[in-house]
Amino acid sequence: MGANYQSACHGKSTADVIAKLSLVEEETDESLYWMELIVEVGLLPLKKVSDLMSENTEILTLNCINQKFT
């Protein structure tokens, strides 16, 4: 996710930036899925991953906003 965001910051065109930000969105959403699954199957309690899940949701929200203004 971080590497794709950095790559988007150096995009060659608006279309390139949007494409790379879309990858960031997909990876962020996938990360959230895996964290939810980890909690669901009982590998970790929610309290252990809730901060990461919140941060991930914030990144996802900011990325979506960023795409709208690109």
| Integer Cα distance of 31 and 7 in angstroms | 19
Q: What is the CATH number of the domain that holds 9?
A: 1.20.1440.60
Q: Which domain holds residue 45?
A: 2-68
66 burial via Cβ count (<10 Å: 0-12, 13-18, 19+) = middle
Q: CB of 70 within 8 A of CB of 11?
A: no
More confident residue, 69 or 24: 24
Residue the block writes with tokens 């965001």:
5
Domain count across the chain: 1
DSSP designation for 13 = S
pTM for this entry: 0.80
- pLDDT tens-digit readout, 12-63: 998 999 899 999 999 999 999 999 999 999 999 999 999 999 999 998 888 8
